[in-house]
Amino acid sequence: LSQTELKREVARAAIRYVEPGRILGVGTGSTVDLFIDELAAIRDQVPACVSSSVRSTKRLEALGFKVIDLNELGDEGIGVYIDGADEIDPGFSMIKGGGGALTREKIVASVSKTFVCIADASKKVDVLGRFPLPVEVIPMAAAAVKRRLEALGATVTLRDFTTDNGCSILDAAGLRIEDPKALEDEINSWPGVVTVGLFANRGADVLLLGTEAGVKTFER
């Protein structure tokens, strides 16, 4: 099966986690794009979505979904948040941000009850770090934060990209992240860092993994 076919299989499998009549949290990326396409089949069961990027908002609205701002959310909150990942380890910690939406993804995930990660088999790793760690920074702090990441042993590049928040992203390659929670807390404390693409303090609750042998479900 191609990677796209594996992604489509997990996108389809995620539909059963959508709670009819509840606000749905939607992440960003090519796997989520396929999930949004599948979601159209049950659009009447989804009163509204909260989106983590302009990219996902555009795709949702093109399919007739109502997308609301997080600040419009009432007490009902968000039940399920569906999103992809660049890497996920056995402890359900993730590297995210390959798609550049890490800040809003982390915000929506933080207010959602259940984070369902949809990923093809290539994303499951024993130790995070093969994928360069994205760090969103206030532009004026890019060089300062770059030096701090290099001091950790990373090879750092500034991504030719501006986020939905008007910020920059540094990609830190070559890290071997044995303690993702500690590194998330450390990098979060640096002035100028908006978001680090480590989702360890709030990892996934469910992983749907697309494999050659079908979709495997892992629950925290």
Catalytic residues: 105
- 174 contacts 155 by C-beta, under 8 angstroms: yes
CB-wise, 8 or 148, nearer to ligand DER?
A: 8
DSSP class of residue 68 equals -
DSSP 175: -
Report the residue number, 7 or 146, with the smaller CB distance to ligand DER. Answer: 7
Angle value at C-alpha 117, between 10 and 137, nearest 5 degrees = 130
CA distance 150 to 68: 39
Q: Give the single-character DSSP code of 197.
A: S
Question: By CB under 6 A, is residue 89 in contact with ligand DER?
Answer: no
SS3 assignment, position 209: strand
Q: How near is the Cβ of 65 to ligand DER at its closest, in Å?
A: 19
**Count of residues near ligand DER by CB under 6 A:** 16
Contact flag: residue 29 with ligand DER (CB under 6 A): yes
46 is a site residue for ligand DER (CB under 6 A): no
Among 8, 23, 78, 84, binds ligand DER (CB under 6 A): 84
Residue count of the chain: 220
Q: Is 210 in the site for ligand DER (CB under 6 A)?
A: no
Among 10, 12, 17, 27, interactor with ligand DER by CB under 6 A: 27
| 96 among annotated binding-site residues | yes
Stretch that binds ligand DER, among 29-37, 137-145, 148-156, 180-188 (CB under 6 A): 29-37
Residue 178 gets the label, from left (phi > 0), alpha (psi -120 to 50) or beta, of alpha
Residue 132 carries which DSSP code?
P
Query: Per rule CB under 6 A, is residue 105 in the interface with ligand DER?
Result: yes
* Residues 163, 102: Cα–Cα separation, whole Å: 9
Q: How far is CA 22 from CA 18, 70, 176, in A?
A: 8, 14, 39
Say whether residue 57 binds ligand DER (CB under 6 A).
no
Hey, which residues between 109 and 148 contact ligand DER (CB under 6 A)? none
Per CB under 6 A, the segment of 40-48, 91-99, 157-165, 208-216 that binds ligand DER is 91-99
Interface contacts to ligand DER, rule CB under 6 A: 27-31, 83-86, 96-99, 101-102, 105
Q: Residues comprising the binding site?
A: 28-31, 83-86, 96-99, 123
